[in-house]
A = this chain, B = another copy of it.
Amino acid sequence: MRGLIAVLVISTFSFNFAAQEQARPSNQPDSPSAPLLGFTAADTATELTWEKRFRAIPDAKRVHANMVQLAGHPHNLGSEAQRKNAEWLVAQYKHWGWDAHIEQFDVLYPTPKTRVLEMVGPTKFTATLDEPPLPGDPYTREKQTQLPSFNIYSADGDVTGPLVYANYGMPADYEELERNGISVSGAIVIARYGGGWRGLKPKLAHEHGAVGCIIYSDPADDGYVQGDVLPKGPMRPPYGVQRGSVADTTIYPGDPLTPGIGSVPGAPRLKISEAVTLMKIPVLPIGYGDAQPLLAALDGRVVPAGWRGGLPLTYHFGPGPAKVHLKLESNWDTKPVLDVIATMKGAEEPDVWIVRGNHYDGWVNGADDPISGQSALLEEARAFGELAKQGWRPKRTLIYTAWDGEEPGLIGSTEWAETHAGDLLKHAALYVNTDENGRGFFGAGGSHSLELLVNDVVRDIVDPETKVSVWRRQQAALLLHGGRRPAPARPNGGNELLTRATLPIEAIGSGSDFAAFIDHLGIASLNLGFGGEDRSGTYHSAYDTPWFEDQFGDKEEVYGPVLAQTAGTLVMRVADADVLPYDFKILTETVKGYDTELKGLVKSLQDDAETRKRNLDLNLYALTDDPKNPVHAPGQLVPPPAMNFAALDDSIAALGKAAEHFNQAEAQMPALSPERRKALNAELLLAERKLTSDQGLPRRPWVKHVLYAPGTYTGYGAKTIPGVREALEQGRFEEAQEQIAVVAKALEAEAAFVEQIATEFGAGK
């Protein structure tokens, strides 16, 4: 699964480059022995020496060899190759001196038995549903062990109906259909990938009465419109298909049958019919080669500009005349999830855990997703093994993992986190996730108590392409085009980036294995990676292979060691620090920003409703309607009432005050006695836990963090302060007011907690 990698940049940056390049963030003077966040001066010197040694170890050739090893065969959950990979991983870890074992869970994992998609009228056409081997790529010939293209957790079904094109199949698309007088009731919806999480497409189609759903990859999104397709270039060929899960992981990820608990032997399981995250209608992904005849057979009105893809045809809404038959049956089997868990015990505070993970299951060969990240993680783990041989020991315990079953729904990480929830809640100080990795720009998302740390770390990592620090390159990208990928220019050319203390890391929602750690358990988490330069259209297809990586990817694995250096240095900083390097000032500022956004959202919802009312009162829709192509006027919007944000404002103010006290106290903390520091850290690691609510979000109690969650109508995309924000967006204004109280309560608890630690451990006591 693709993690949403956010942009990150540090900036206590000015135009004085030479000084900036060496400078540490504002709380760390410009001297090699100046203390790192959470370290005494003496320990800083030691730490920096070990970090330097660590960063010299990761080796590009080994990253590449790892990739070839792990992605050599199709290795989805339950496959023979995946078991071999698990065993190989355990052997590697052991060889490097780690404790390592496989931890198995047994989970619902349906695979295709029958897949039929055909047009039965006005002309006949049967979709091939096959990704042909690619001339030149030997990996693509291993058809017998590939999973065929499918959307896992689709319903079984045998349905026939008129076809309707629904663009990306998102909520706004259904409003457009409605204004054009088109119903999908009893129809089969065809939607293109993109615009939102794939699982929303069949979910919304079902909610609007459709009996089936087809999702296809339009060439405008990752095919020939974007670049040359395979084998000439890296983009998606006509019959390349994006597999992927349609389980509703916004409610809960993991095994659909064991929400909230680990799928261990004997665990109580739901019946399949009771699992609310399973899709209710049949849904199948196809390539644009198979989609073209279907779309060409649609008629009715021409779709609006934003709906047009890159196929050489006029896109119409339908319904019909194309009539489509879709038949899907799965083998609803239970399969083993094989998590690989490796441990390096901490020397001083073994009960404080740092968990590091990247999944290792692919939809097919998965050379990029996820092996590009996993291969680098392995070099990071090997480097720690080497470092241990040189005499280094982390103060705290490292738990390095390779998650299985991420693709079907973050299963390996979720089941493990749920199984060990009690221990994790007590011991885990940090979870660091990676997924894919590639050439280009750094991106980071996660808990904002870690923003200062991340900023600090990437200042010490050299970007291999430009030889400046990773943070300086990232800052350049933000200044020049808004980030890793071109984004709207910032006002004033982004000059504020040159004077701000740090730049934000982004919020994370779901889409990779951090979800159980941050959303469910409230463990401070990060998601890291590099990318943005090599483009591809192989996502979740049989063409994501080692051959492809060598042909079109980072063949020299230039960025593999860099990811290992980045994540590894970050892990070391937390593992070795005298005091856990959290920061609550930036957290406060970030939450204050969210608060301002929510107030703006209330205002804009009110304005939108007022404008809509004006438009309807003035009859503007009818007056501008083309009588030859009439569209329905949209309905009134219900404006939110005036909302009371006082509780939220107050809690943020309290947190700001506490953060200030903590910062004052912090300078003395590294010099506490080892015993006192141990007591401090055992408490401090609980800080992120306070940002959760026991009852969880309305209608999805599994999601407990009050600041971050995947959006119910965006999927992977994060919603910040989700309880309030989604209630506003979805028109539940009483609930929004209630959720303000819930969030304020959590923030007050956080403030009290931080204040108490500052008091208890401040002033060198």
Whether B310 pairs with A620 at a CB distance below 8 angstroms is no
A224 touching B313 by the CB < 8 A rule? yes
Say if the beta carbon of A479 comes within 8 Å of chain B.
Answer: yes
A622 contact set on B, CB distance < 8 A: 466
Question: Is A533 interfacial (CB-CB < 8 Å)?
Answer: yes
Residues of chain B with a CB closer than 8 A to A465's CB: 626-627
Q: Which residue of B lies closest to A13 (CB)?
A: B618
A302 contacts B627, CB within 8 Å? no
State whether B15 touches A224 (Cβ < 8 A).
no
Give the Cβ gap from A192 to chain B, nearest Cβ, in Å. Answer: 15
Query: What's the minimum C-beta distance from A607 to chain B, rounded to whole angstroms?
Result: 8
The residue from B314, B473, B624 contacting A229, defined by CB atoms under 8 A apart: B314
Which of A448-456, A573-581, A609-617, A729-737 forms part of the interface with chain B? Answer: A609-617
- How many monomers of this chain does the complex have? 2
Contact A233 B618 (CB under 8 A): no
Closest residue to A533 on the B side, CB-wise?
A: B626
Question: Which of chain B's residues has its CB closest to A463's CB?
Answer: B623
Question: What's the nearest-Cβ distance from chain B to residue A466, in Å?
Answer: 5
Taken residue by residue from 186 to 206, chain A's Cβ proximity to chain B (1 for < 8 Å, 0 otherwise) reads as 000000000000000000000
Contact residues in B for A227 (Cβ distance below 8 Å): 302, 314
Q: Are B233 and A314 in contact (CB under 8 A)?
A: yes
A472 within 8 A of B: yes
A656 within 8 Å of B by Cβ?
no
Minimal Cβ-Cβ distance residue in B for A615: B480
- From B219, B228, B233, B533, A628 is in contact (CB under 8 Å) with B533
Chain B contacts for A493, CB-based, 8 A = 607, 610-611, 614-615
A312 within 8 A of B: yes
Query: Is A621 an interface position by the 8 A CB rule?
Result: yes
Whether A172 sits at the interface, judged by CB under 8 Å, is no
Determine the residue in chain B with the shortest Cβ distance to A233.
B314
Q: Bound state CA distance, A233 and B313, in angstroms? A: 12
Does A477 sit at the interface, judged by CB under 8 A? yes
Residue of B nearest to A622 (CB): B466
- The answer, yes or no, to whether A38 is at the interface (CB within 8 Å) is no
Which residues from 210 to 238 on chain A have a C-beta closer than 8 Å to any C-beta of chain B?
Answer: 219, 224-229, 233, 235
B225, B473, B611, B619: the one within 8 Å of A308 (CB): B225
Check if A387 is an interface residue, CB within 8 A of chain B. no
- How far apart sit A623 and B314, CA to CA, in the bound complex (Å)? 42
Beyond A227-B314, A313-B224, A314-B233, whether A15 also contacts B627 by CB under 8 A is: no
Q: A58: CB under 8 A from chain B? A: no
Decide yes or no whether A311 CB sits under 8 A from chain B.
yes
Residues on B with beta carbons closer than 8 Å to the beta carbon of A473: 623-624
CA A627 to CA B554, docked complex, whole Å: 12
Evaluate contact between A480 and B533: CB separation under 8 angstroms: no
**A window 309-325: CB within 8 A of B:** 310-314
Q: Is A741 an interface residue (CB 8 A)?
A: no
Residues A419-446 near B (CB distance < 8 A) = 439-441
Does A476 lie at the interface of the complex (its beta carbon under 8 Å from any beta carbon of B)?
A: yes
* Residue A657 is within 8 A (CB to CB) of chain B in the complex: no
In the complex, the chain B residue whose C-beta lies closest to that of A315 is B225
CA distance A627 to B533 in the complex (A): 9
A228: nearest residue on chain B (CB-CB)? B314
Q: Is the CB of A620 within 8 A of B219?
A: no
A335: CB under 8 A from chain B?
no
A480-B615, A615-B480 known; A224-B620 Cβ under 8 A: no
Whole-angstrom distance between the alpha carbons of A314 and B230 in the complex? 12
Judged by a CB distance under 8 angstroms, whether A134 is at the interface is no
Min CB distance, A493 to chain B, in Å? 4
A272 CB → nearest B CB, Å: 42
A493 to B, closest residue via Cβ? B611
A592 within 8 A of B: no
Chain B residue at smallest Cβ distance from A303: B227
Partner of A466, one of B229, B466, B611, B623: B623
A468 contacts partner chain B, Cβ-Cβ < 8 Å: yes
Q: Quick check: A620 and B533 within 8 Å, CB to CB?
A: no
9 A-B pairs with the lowest CB-CB distances in the bound complex, closest first:
A476-B623, A493-B611, A312-B312, A476-B620, A480-B620, A533-B626, A227-B302, A228-B314, A224-B314
> Which residues of A are in contact with B by a Cβ distance under 8 Å?
15, 17, 219, 224-229, 233, 235, 302, 308, 310-314, 439-441, 465-466, 468, 472-473, 476-477, 479-481, 493, 495, 533-534, 607, 610-611, 614-615, 617-629
Known: A233-B314, A495-B614. 11 other contacts (CB 8 A): A225-B308, A226-B314, A227-B302, A312-B312, A466-B622, A476-B619, A477-B623, A480-B620, A480-B621, A481-B624, A533-B626
Q: What are 14 A-to-B residue pairs whose CB atoms are below 8 Å?
A: A226-B314, A228-B302, A311-B312, A439-B628, A465-B627, A466-B625, A476-B618, A476-B620, A479-B614, A480-B615, A480-B621, A480-B624, A493-B610, A493-B614
